[in-house]
Structure 1
Amino acid sequence: MFKKWLLKDVILLVFLSIFFGGIFIVSGYLFDILTIILTPLGLQAFANEILFGLWCMAAPISAIFIPRIGSATIGETVAALAEVLYGSQFGLGAILSGLVQGLGSEFGFLVTKNRYESWLSLSANSLGITIFSFTFEYFKLGYYAFTFPFVIALFFVRLASVYFFCTILVRAIIKLYHQFKSGGER
């Protein structure tokens, strides 16, 4: 039924979260550069959407390496906490965003019966992250002030970003991990 959490699971989850917190900090600089580039075009809101999937990778990676119910939510939330402790420009709000992203990921995995590494499960994870986080940020970031077509465009760019980073890239990372683990067989 439910797998029991072991100390090694907790240690690995914290390690992954600290690692991804560092990635999130670096991606904040990419966000700033992209915002500067897109602002003269009136498209600065897309900077967040283009990079959004990068900020969500801790959830599916945590769920795959620690296949326990709750690991996606905890992993993403602790990674956001690590980001804040590193000095995130997004402040404490990043923790709440991490929780919402983790819950979206968790929902996607639960819907597919926790088949963490399958294309279907990773795709459901990406869809869950996108729907949960976009709904949350629609109000948090004031997307309701934009026209409907602009909001739809933001949603689909976020979905593409999350699918790329949290399905395609995560799947590639896991495949490389399995190859490395098995001695690099070809």
Structure 2
Amino acid sequence: MDWKMKEVVLTVILAVACGVIYLGWSTLWIPISAIVGPMGAGFMFGIWVIASPIVAYIIRKPGAAFIAEVAAAAVELLTGSHFGLSALLIGVFQGIGSEIAFAIFRYKRYNLFTLMLSGALAAVGGMIYHLMANGFGYYTPGVLFTTLGINIISGMILGGLLAKVVVDALAKTGVLEQYEIMKEQRKREIGNENVSGM
């Protein structure tokens, strides 16, 4: 499925915006993790994967979730993330996880469930990266599953749910009129009118 120039431009704009947010969130993570510990700070995880569901929800094309997350992670890295290269590498794994959620439904379902699943699978992807980078011995089973559980919940809420809230708010302003999200909405409205008019 070919991408239109306006979709590429919007993806770049949103990825840059999310990347800057990721950087700020990473900076905020340092004092919070010092207070509650890295596992406790896992509730912050979801913001780091919000680029995927936001862009995928608007563009609705294969690869959108993956490209958005990797691009946002690259922006975070290039703007000085203290996580260094790992910011980009974990972005790749999170992007793959997020993309899988949309691929499962053959890129035809972009409802709240799919967006939240995107955030959850991004958390799984992120944990896979951590296990590969740190080794299985780095975590006790309890810490591993607790951290994963917190990240999944955060990914669902701060990633998927918040993405839907943000995009729906943007859609109401009219700035997304030329994108797939609004085209699909108009199709549904026409279908509902035809049914009610029968």
Normalised TM-score (structure 2): 0.81
**Partner Cα separation in structure 2 for residue 168 and residue 28 of structure 1:** 20
Listed as ranges, the matches of 1:135-150 within 5 Å are: 135-142=128-135, 144-150=137-143
- Residue deviations 1:92-140, cap 9 Å, x none? 2211111111111110011022245302211321232122221221232
Q: Is the 8 A contact 2:19 2:73 kept in 1?
A: yes
Q: Stretches of 4+ moved more than 4 A in 1?
A: none
Q: Is the 8 A contact 1:109 1:121 kept in 2?
A: yes
Residue of structure 2 in register with 1:157 after alignment: 150
Q: Provide the alpha-carbon RMSD of the alignment.
A: 1.8
- Residue deviations 1:11-30, cap 9 Å, x none? 11111111011101110121
- Residue deviations 1:140-165, cap 9 Å, x none? 24563332122111111001110111
Identity %: 26
- Residue in structure 2 matching 1:30, options 25, 28, 32: 28
2:159 is the alignment partner of 1:166: yes
Q: Is the 8 A contact 1:70 1:106 kept in 2?
A: yes
- Residue deviations 1:22-67, cap 9 Å, x none? 10111012110112212xxxx33332x2211111111111112222
**Partner Cα separation in structure 1 for residue 137 and residue 114 of structure 2:** 30
**Partner Cα separation in structure 2 for residue 122 and residue 13 of structure 1:** 17
Q: Secondary structure at the match of 1:29?
A: helix
**Partner Cα separation in structure 1 for residue 172 and residue 136 of structure 2:** 42
Residue of structure 2 in register with 1:102 after alignment: 95
Q: Is the 8 A contact 2:50 2:119 kept in 1?
A: no
**Partner Cα separation in structure 2 for residue 115 and residue 122 of structure 1:** 12
**Partner Cα separation in structure 2 for residue 141 and residue 27 of structure 1:** 22
**Partner Cα separation in structure 1 for residue 43 and residue 134 of structure 2:** 15
* Superposed displacement of residue 85, structure 1: 1.2
**Partner Cα separation in structure 2 for residue 81 and residue 169 of structure 1:** 22
Residue of structure 2 in register with 1:44 after alignment: 38
**Partner Cα separation in structure 2 for residue 97 and residue 5 of structure 1:** 25
Instruction: For CA contacts below 8 A with separation 6 or more, give which structure has more relative contact order.
Output: 2
Residue of structure 2 in register with 1:8 after alignment: 6
Unaligned stretches of 5+ residues in structure 1: none
Q: Secondary structure at the match of 1:113?
A: coil
Amino acid across the alignment from 1:98:
G
2:73 is the alignment partner of 1:80: yes
